[in-house]
Amino acid sequence: MFDYLPQEVIAHILLRLPVKTLGLCLCVCKLWHAIISGTIFINNHIAHTNKKENSGHRLLLRQFIDVQHRELYSLHFDTHPFQKYKDLSFPIQTIDRRFRIVGSCNGILCLSSNGHPPDFVLWNPTIQKFVSLPRPLVYLSYCNIKMFTLGFGFDSLSNDYKVVMLFFLKAKRGHDCAYPPPQVNLYSLSTRSWREISAMACPYKMDRYCWTQVFLNGAIHWVASTKINGVKDGPCSNLILRFNVSDEVFDHMCLPGSLVDNKAFKLSVLVLGGQLSVVQWNTFENCGTCSIWSMKEYGAKESWTKQFEIGSLEALDISCVVNILRLRENSQLLLEMCNGWLFSYDPQDKKVTDLQINGSEKTFYLDFFEESLVLLGQGNENLKEQQDVQSKKRMRPEDRIKNVEW
């Protein structure tokens, strides 16, 4: 029967199938394989999935077990009992290093290892395809790298996935500049290569260990700080550093007034309910609080609203909370606790629920996840072979990366 249908009709029918079923359809005939593996179909399938109402959003959970040196990935239904949908097999074998999830976009995870030098990977856990990234250009030319941060997003104009890397260099002695502007490298999946971009990120500073990033509205966002008027010994001002993935330019967004210059707060950026949000921590002198601010209208400074405030006098001891991971569809917050347990917290009735999920502290990652076909027909290079090749290209690598901190 399908032999008599136009190709456009076949594509329209296939568009409504889940990724797992489409994987089986690849073997039906050459025409179906060509349709499903085409870039246009893959993009249309993502758009169709995102538009479906009540599609039963699933949450991707990553936890690390130190004793077993295992990274565990799983998908869960966003329901009250946090029921597991299925386990995901992590295809990269590591013995002495773990991966940090930079971010996710359209079913792709961007990973960076904690090794020196680190490895960078783009991974689609649904179809078990991954692409190993080569070493960035800056790594091959600078020996005074202090730290770096990453961002991951999708360029909808060029249909390309990009990784941006900001290298913060050590300030030279006697230099009047408060923070030297970072060097910026950009990786493009379409070209499989890094390039240095001229976009100036300005002399900003980010948290050395706990930086976070989110991709929203075509841009990558970080919490950053800068010295007021560029004075080296002057006060700091906090802001949102933004990188437009399509235009490849930096700018910044203002934070609420109470978050701008108070050094006692630790800030992290995340997306809650589809809105750009910032978590404000204050955990000193046994009177800890945690506030979550959300930008109700993207780009409008005056729309920042304090959405949640959690105090230690409630059922939850905020000093035991390591990270706020996600806002569920039922308005409950998913929290990582200092003992490595995952909890759900209801801000309305102050109820705390132990979800009986445990891992190593500060290794949890949780985000909404939609399965996709991105990377179909690509990737799965041997990561060990690529590491060996890259090592041969570098001279005295231990001198260049020994001072890099995560």
194 by DSSP, 3-state: which? strand
Q: Which pair of tokens denotes residue 307?
A: 């959405």
Residue 257 pLDDT more than 60?
yes
The answer to whether the beta carbons of residues 73 and 105 sit under 8 Å apart is: no
pLDDT of 119 strictly over 90: no
Whether residue 292 has pLDDT greater than 50: yes
User: In the 8-state DSSP scheme, what is residue 284?
Assistant: -
Determine which of 155-164, 254-263, 289-298 has the lowest per-residue pLDDT on average: 254-263
Q: What pTM, to 2 d.p., does this model score?
A: 0.86
Portion of the chain with pLDDT greater than 90, in percent: 43
The CA–CA distances, whole Å, from 182 to 144, 211, 235 equal: 12, 15, 20
pLDDT of residue 55: 54
> Which of 177, 254, 251, 174 is CA-nearest to residue 218?
251
Q: Is the pLDDT of residue 402 over 60?
A: no
pLDDT tens digits, one per residue of 5-18: 889 999 999 999 99
Q: Are 142 and 203 in contact (CB under 8 A)?
A: no
Residue 301: pLDDT band by 50, 70, 90 thresholds? Answer: very high
Q: Which residue has the higher pLDDT, 202 or 164?
A: 164
Q: How far is 54 from 183, CA to CA, in rounded Å?
A: 43
Q: Residue 342: pLDDT band by 50, 70, 90 thresholds?
A: very high
Q: What is the rounded CA–CA span in Å between residue 173 and residue 103?
A: 35
- Return d(Cα 164, Cα 46) in angstroms, integer: 23
Q: Each residue of 304-322: pLDDT tens digit?
A: 999 988 876 466 666 788 8
> Which pLDDT does position 67 carry in this prediction?
72
What pLDDT score was predicted for residue 113?
A: 86
SS3 35: helix
pLDDT score, position 388:
47
CA distance 304 to 255: 8
pLDDT of residue 286: 52
Start-to-end C-alpha separation, the chain? 58
Contact predicate 377/128, CB 8 Å: no
Count of alpha carbons within 13 angstroms of residue 257, beta-carbon side: 1
- Higher-confidence residue of 69 and 233: namely 69
Q: Check residue 40 and give its pLDDT.
A: 92
Q: What is the pLDDT of residue 398?
A: 38
Count of helix runs (H) and strand runs (E) in the chain: 7, 24
| Cα–Cα nearest to 308, from 329, 324, 286, 284 | 324
